[in-house]
Each structure stands twice: as C-alpha cells, then as structure tokens.
Amino acid sequence: MLALLLLLPQLTQAQQLPEKQYPKGYFRNPLNIPIVLAGNFGELRPNHFHSGLDLKTEQRENLPVHAAAEGYVSRVGISHTGFGNVLYVTHPNGYTTVYAHLNRFYPLVEAYVKRKQYEQESWASDIVLPQGLFPVKKGEFIAWSGNTGGSAGPHLHFEIRDTRTEKPLNPMLFGFDIPDSRAPEIQRIVIYDRNRSLYEQSPIVVPVKRSKDGGFVATRPVVKVTTDKVGLGVSALDRQSNSMNPNGVYEGLVMEQGKIDCGFQLDNIGYDETRYLNAHIDYKMKKSGGPYVQLLFALPGNALEIYHNVNGNGIIDLSDKQPHPLTIRVTDAYGNGTNVDITLQQDGNNPAPPTCANTMYAESRNIFENNQVEFFLEEGSLYDKICFRYEETPNPTAYSNTYRLHTPLVPVQFPFSLRIRPSRSIPEGLKDKVVMVRNGQGESFSATTLEDGWYKGTFRDFGDFHLIIDNVAPKITPLGALKPGANLSRLGRIAFAMSDASGIKSYRAELDGKWLMFSRRSNVLTYTFDEHCPPGNHTLKLTVTDIADNESTYTLTFKR
C-alpha cells in the first residue's frame, strides 16, 4: 500500500487530460496595470459559465483599454444587459479578443457607431464592421473601461475566442503574467446513486477539511453506500496569488488505482451551449440554497464536450462489494493541483426504485396535456429523467387556475411553449391583454397569443403558472426638475425612469418628430445633449410599451 501511495503522484502527472496548445506571449495585457482577477474562465454563474477574465480596474472607471494584438475592430455591441458596450478585435492568427462593460469606444469607432444607431433608430445595437475600416496595432488605445451592461462594479471583461467557431477559450492558457502558485481548495465531495435520477435523491455530502500538513482530507475517509453504481461531485474554488477572489477551477478528475477514470476541463465553451452549466452542476442543491457542486460525470442530457472518459465514464461500479479507494484531483489552469482521497464500498442491496406515474426522459420529447394546460419539451430539454409532478389549485384573483408543473429545482435547457385555457370569461376588450405569470424562485412573465381558446406563452423553467389581465400602462417618471417650458441650456443630460409590473418591451423617444437616442441602464433612460438638439424650442415625446402592448407617453416642451 505504501508503494502505491508513493507512486500515485507520478501516475497523476503522467496521465493528465489533453494539453491545450495555444500561442504564449502573442497577446498583451489589455490594461496598463498588472492583471488582478475578479473572475476567471469557467467560473460558475447563474445559468452560464463565465466566458473570460474579469480584470480589476482598481475600483475605477475610464481606464484606457488597449488592443491585445494587431488586428481590426470587427464588431461592436451596445446593450443595457450582458456585455453592455463591447468591442471585438479580430486578429490574423485565428483568434478574436473581446473587451466588455466599456464606457466608450475610441473616438473614430464611437462616431461610426453613433451614425449607425441613428440610421437604425435603435440605441441597442450589434454592428459588424468591414475588415479594413478600423485596423489596430498591438497596444493601441481602443476604449475606456467602465461598468455598463450586466456589471456589478467597474472592471474589464476580456475574452479570447476562436474566430471561426466564435467559441470562447480559456485566456489563462495563453501565457499572461498572472501570479498563481496557489492550489485550488476542495470543500466537499458529493456521492450520487447513479441508479436513480440526480433530481430524485438526497446525495451523501462529505465535507473536506485542511490537514495538518496543509493539504485536504475527507472528514469521512470511508463511506459505505447501498447502491452498486455511484457518481461523484466536488465543490472547489481557486484563488490567484495576488487576489483573494474565489474563482473557478480548470480541471476535475476521478482516479481509481492511480488511473484517471474520467475528468472535465473547462475550456472551449460556446455561448450556444453555456446554459449546460445547469447539467454540469447539482442544480437542485444550488437552487435549494446549497453550494455549487460540479459533477465528475456527464448526465444523459448534457451535451457539453468538457468531459474526457479516459479509463471509464465517471460511474464507479461497486458491485463487487469491495473497498474502492478513489482520488479526487482538482487543478487550476497553471497546473497547481489538490488531491483528496476517499474510499467507497457497497454495503447492502440496491433499494427498489420508487414507482412513478409519469416519467420524463432526457433522450425523449416529453408531452403533458389535459383539458386546462398543455406543454411539450423538445428532445434534450431535460438532463436526467424525472418523475413529473402536476398540481392544480383554484386561483380566485387570476383568469385561470394555478398549474404547478413539476418544480423549479429541476432545470430545463430549451424554452418551451405552454398553453393554458382560461377558467374565467375574459371580457372581449381585454383578450389581447392576457399575460402568463410564472412563480417559483422569483416571478416572471410572458406575453401570450390566443389560439383556439388557449393562451400560449413561452418559458424556460418549471414552476407555478396562471393567467392575468395586464391593462395598466407603464409609468414614466422624469428624474430631476423637468418642468414644461423650462430652459434646459445649463443641463448636460436629462433622464427618465420607467417601470411596469409585467415588464418593459420597448421605448422610443422623438424630438420634434425625429428619433432621439436615449441610452438605457436598468430601467433608466438618459439623453446627453448633443448636435441632435440645437438651440431653440423643442418638444420631446417619450413612449414606453410593456409586454402586453400597453403604452405610456410623456411629452416635455423645453428650450435650449
């Protein structure tokens, strides 16, 4: 046994998962300050993997951002969500770098984007630029850092993508100078019965603690289970040497007898597949208020290509009822690794699976329908089979009963159409104002269409659903002292807040009958005075529309 323990580190090093061959030193730091990470590639976020590096900007905005390498500005985007203001540079070596949450682009691009926004009469934009229009050299100034879009504080989000596939890659594999000699920290190991659905069990959680020598050990080094097939999950985090932020890990492995059974590497994850994060984690545990647990095996409906089956598929066969010593190894992108040992053994017989009246499978198209509600899930919408549960309860304040479709603790990959038949008569003049409501770990709304007496909406999560009438127009509130006929010559900008119970669909501003560009941050609209508002008397008309097509209009006369 001692000989095996001495040999294990050599076997571990000799059997790593495939190494990535990316150019080192080609890209420079896009900032003029040392790289300190607030977030890294593959970090676990709600419904998605983090797709790049979040670079700290010293809690400041408007730091100069520089092109990481020679290329050309190929695309820009503007949004009040997601990346906010984002700029893309395509490089001749097959990669594209992305710079997000910017405040502004450099002047030539800023002017070009503004012209396009006025041509399209839309502030929110996604603009593809011709190749020769805006060439840049390595290190050339391209933007100011900021805090736009879905950003919780000033920082620069930086990505490297494969230009052909547009898939983000792990920038920490490209040789940036990021001090990191710290190994990941393992917090717990979770043991799953793979004869049962992930969502129909309470797994065994084994806490992990630091040992006296600075390593990590399982608090229960030997665990006996009744099932003959288990899969493992792990909670772990990583920190860089110059940052205490708890970031994500790069690689997780299950090893048996010194050989890698299965493992994952977090690299090369496309935006069209990033929602499969919900299949990579124990979603039920996380949504129940627990920690992130990353699975060391692939669920049946998980289409991610991050898993590598080396000597197995992550499912450990314990049917011989003998002790199975296992090692969980977690590493970061710089090769710093942490091991935790645990021994599993089957003790007893597999419990009989519970009966289920309506099993839904990951590999199938699943349909549920009765006289009041119906929906279908396309193939691949589920990650593991579920025992579907349905309840119906009266709802005196709604125009339908409330229909419970399973539980929000089970994730769904693709949007699904849901049809509900009203249980109360809807007045003729309000039939186009019906909104579908979902409750379940938050409230969400969907516009509806009427089909043969059924109202159809679209959702992406299970929960409790019912129909309401929304005939209340959005509210528009001026921010600051905006009075009709006021002289606004001394103001640099004007702003309005908009609100609505079911959600804002769109807004439009016109100045003297012509479209005027208001930017949006959350539900605040802002116009910065420019050449589109010359001196004189003006009339501003702002119209806001909600998802039920209720409209509000605010009119302001003023002088400049």
Could you tell me which residues are beta bridge partners of residue 210? 216
pLDDT of 11: 40
User: What band does 7 get if pLDDT is binned at 50, 70 and 90?
Assistant: very low
Q: What is the mean pLDDT of residues 422-450?
A: 94
Instruction: Check pLDDT > 90 for residue 512.
Output: yes
Task: Report the largest interatomic distance among the alpha carbons of the chain, rounded to a whole angstrom.
Answer: 89
**Could you give all domains of the chain from N- to C-terminal order, each with its CATH number?**
37-173 (2.70.70.10), 185-346 (2.70.50), 359-469 (2.60.220.30), 475-559 (2.60.40.1220)
Question: What tokens does 414 get?
Answer: 């693709």
Instruction: Check pLDDT > 90 for residue 9.
Output: no
Instruction: Check pLDDT > 90 for residue 187.
Output: yes
Residue 419: enclosing H or E segment and its boundaries? strand 416-420
CA distance 358 to 365: 13
DSSP code for 4: H
Q: Between residues 476 and 355, which one has the greater pLDDT? A: 476
DSSP code for 199: G
pTM score:
0.93
DSSP tally for the chain: helices H, then strands E:
4, 47
Alpha helices in 44-170 (DSSP H): 107-120
Q: What is the mean pLDDT of residues 62-87?
A: 98
pLDDT of 34: 96
CA distance 315 to 193: 9
Percentage of the chain lying above the pLDDT 70 cut: 97
C-alpha pair distances (Å), 347 with each of 231, 258, 317, 319, 364:
16, 24, 13, 10, 34
Instruction: Check pLDDT > 70 for residue 10.
Output: no
pLDDT of 16: 67
Instruction: Check pLDDT > 50 for residue 50.
Output: yes
Classify residue 50 by burial, with Cβ atoms within 10 Å: 0-12, 13-18, 19+: buried
- Asked if residue 315 lies in contact with residue 231, where contact means CB atoms within 8 angstroms, the answer is yes
CA distance 416 to 429: 28
Residue 376: enclosing H or E segment and its boundaries? strand 373-377
Question: What tokens does 266 get?
Answer: 């977090």
pLDDT of 190: 98
pLDDT of 348: 84
pLDDT of 118: 98
pLDDT of 18: 80
Q: Between residues 481 and 555, which one has the greater pLDDT? A: 555
What's the whole-number average pLDDT of the chain?
94
pLDDT of 14: 39
CA distance 170 to 22: 10
pLDDT of 526: 98
Instruction: Write the pLDDT tens digit of every residue in 273-325.
Output: 999 999 999 999 999 999 999 999 999 999 999 999 999 999 999 999 999 99
Instruction: Check pLDDT > 50 for residue 8.
Output: no
Instruction: Write the pLDDT tens digit of every residue in 129-180.
Output: 999 899 999 999 999 999 999 999 999 999 999 999 999 999 999 999 999 9
